[in-house]
Structure 1
Amino acid sequence: MFAEERQRLVAERVAEAGRVSVTELAERFSVTTETVRRDLASLETAGVLRRVHGGAVPAERASTAEASLSERQVQNLAEKRRMAEAAAALIVSSRAGSILLDAGSSTEAVADCLLSHPDGAPELVVMTNALPIADKLAAVPGLAVHLLGGRIRPVTRAAVGQAAIDAVERHRPDLAFIGANGVHADFGLSTPDPEEAAVKAAFVRCARRAVVLADHTKFAVEALVQFGRLDAIDTLVTDRAPEGELAAALDDAGVEVMAP
């Protein structure tokens, strides 16, 4: 196999998997690890990928990279809908009376599932730091919606800062649904912005049960700021069951994985 063809296949594998290791690629193409590293160096120079310790990730996956809410709302729609329905089912099965909804496209999909809150069902208290979610749910019968205050970040339309953290810490909700930009075996849960990370960490601390929603593209990703170790959460709702090192780390941490 010529180097150009192998590098094209390497680029396709990185785009598909989100992260690949040097060892995996060497075995896949029956070449030495030194050959793989040269291929990765060439592809990084061409702007196709970015090398990280032990392998490579897509070029756009820098630790501070963050898509806008409007961009994320049109990505992986079917997967997010399945994840949201599974997450919303936890509200019923756990008989939760109060929930926290983090800002983000996956948690907003959970909010969409609450739009048809049945008449006669017990009132559900919904707390959120997300302007779009509060606006969407404010007029739904049977939902008592509380918007957490703070400075609004334009990219996610989320309230952040000490005011939001203080508001969260005065409560003990039954469930918290939290988004993440990265879910990593060693680094845990992460997001690019320090202020959003602080609010997410407060969500994890204060809820009786912390549920993270993250599709498979977030696996093995380390965004800039950690907001929790894997053993700080109870459940991961995703679209594809993790494998390898991440699967083992989640199991060791006692995290329930739901992949509808």
Structure 2
Amino acid sequence: MYAPERQQAILGHARSVGRVDVNMLAEQFDVTPETIRRDLNELERRGLVRRVHGGAIPVERFGLELPVAQRTSRNAEHKERIAKAALDELPDSGSIIIDAGTTTVRLAEMLPADRQFTVVTHALPIAAMLAERPNITLLLVGGQVRQGTLAAVGGWSQAGYRSVLADVAFAGTNGISRNRGLTTPDLAEAAVKQSLIASARRTIVLADHSKVGHDEFAHVADLSEVDTLITDSEVDANMAREIHDAGVEVVQA
């Protein structure tokens, strides 16, 4: 096995169980502990794990956000299917809010060209993508731009959303569970998400299976504020059932 393949396998195992041990990995991959340490150092250099005594922990366990470019490549096929399923939730024409996020970017890419939409967003990548679309009236909500998400946050952003009422909000999230609802690592991001959810008649959450049953630091909204969750076919059945039983329609793409 080549080093990149081994490192990818180590990262997958770390995300699955929450922590990896150097000696255990050395035995599993039949390599020396020094080789595993080099692998973990490389994963840490790329911002994917944090080294701890005897092993490593994936950055997600610390409530840290990966850079946009790294998050875009994770579960890319699932995000593609989720975004395609979300097209069924679009109004025939009208106004939509598109939240910041790597799955919501895919939705923005797929917006049909034969219908007129007013799109409200605080996400710079989405705004740049839609700015020249002739069938799109784009409203860009401003504020301080966070480097980690390339999204505007702060009082200006919240005020911007409070001034509109859209037909549908397509929201992203870092975590969704029965007990905590929608969560995200950053308080400023959470506040903007709260505002955009309150500014739409319906809220559709787009989240791949890795987000379902997962809780982050900052609370965004209870499940009572969500109409539909669109996730992928690998979602844990029990977790999906819990969310459905809380009154949320669950669509598996």
**Shift in CA distance, 69/213, structure 1 to aligned 2, threshold 3 Å:** same
The aligned counterpart of 1:247 is 240
Tell me the SS of whatever aligns to 2:74.
Answer: coil
What's the C-alpha RMSD, in Å, of the aligned pairs? Answer: 2.3
Aligned residue among 146, 154, 163 for 1:161: 154
- Matching residue's letter, 2:102: S
The aligned counterpart of 1:117 is 113
Please state how far the C-alpha of 1:183 moved relative to its aligned partner. 1.2
Tell me the SS of whatever aligns to 2:213.
Answer: coil
- Matching residue's letter, 1:220: G
- Matching residue's letter, 1:235: T
- Matching residue's letter, 2:98: L
Please state how far the C-alpha of 1:227 moved relative to its aligned partner. 0.2
Please state how far the C-alpha of 1:141 moved relative to its aligned partner. 1.4
- Matching residue's letter, 1:69: V
Distance 2:131 2:17 in 1: 37
Counterparts of residues 39-118 of structure 1 (less than 5 Å): 46-48=54-56, 59-91=58-90, 94-114=91-111, 116-118=112-114
Distance 1:201 1:18 in 2: 31
- Matching residue's letter, 1:47: G
Tell me the SS of whatever aligns to 2:59.
Answer: coil
TM-score (structure 2 length as normaliser): 0.77
Question: In 1, are the aligned partners of 2:240 and 2:250 still within 8 Å (CA)?
Answer: no
Distance 1:63 1:171 in 2: 35
The aligned counterpart of 1:176 is 169
- Matching residue's letter, 2:162: E
The number of residues matched between the two structures is: 212
User: Structure 2 regions of 5+ residues with no counterpart?
Assistant: 1-9, 19-51
The aligned counterpart of 1:197 is 190
Post-superposition, which runs of at least 4 consecutive aligned residues in structure 1 deviate over 3 A?
11-19, 44-49, 241-245
The aligned counterpart of 1:259 is 252
Distance 2:128 2:176 in 1: 29
Please state how far the C-alpha of 1:251 moved relative to its aligned partner. 2.0
Please state how far the C-alpha of 1:139 moved relative to its aligned partner. 0.6
- Matching residue's letter, 1:71: Q
**Shift in CA distance, 144/166, structure 1 to aligned 2, threshold 3 Å:** same
Please state how far the C-alpha of 1:241 moved relative to its aligned partner. 5.9
- Matching residue's letter, 1:117: A
Distance 2:199 2:79 in 1: 25
TM-score (structure 1 length as normaliser): 0.75
Tell me the SS of whatever aligns to 1:79.
Answer: helix
Distance 1:134 1:13 in 2: 33
The aligned counterpart of 1:206 is 199
Please state how far the C-alpha of 1:60 moved relative to its aligned partner. 2.7
Tell me the SS of whatever aligns to 2:55.
Answer: coil
Please state how far the C-alpha of 1:62 moved relative to its aligned partner. 2.1
Which stretch of the first structure deviates more once superposed, 95-104 or 162-171?
95-104
Counterparts of residues 204-243 of structure 1 (less than 5 Å): 204-240=197-233, 242-243=235-236
Distance 1:102 1:18 in 2: 30
Distance 1:240 1:64 in 2: 25
Tell me the SS of whatever aligns to 2:120.
Answer: strand
Identity %: 36
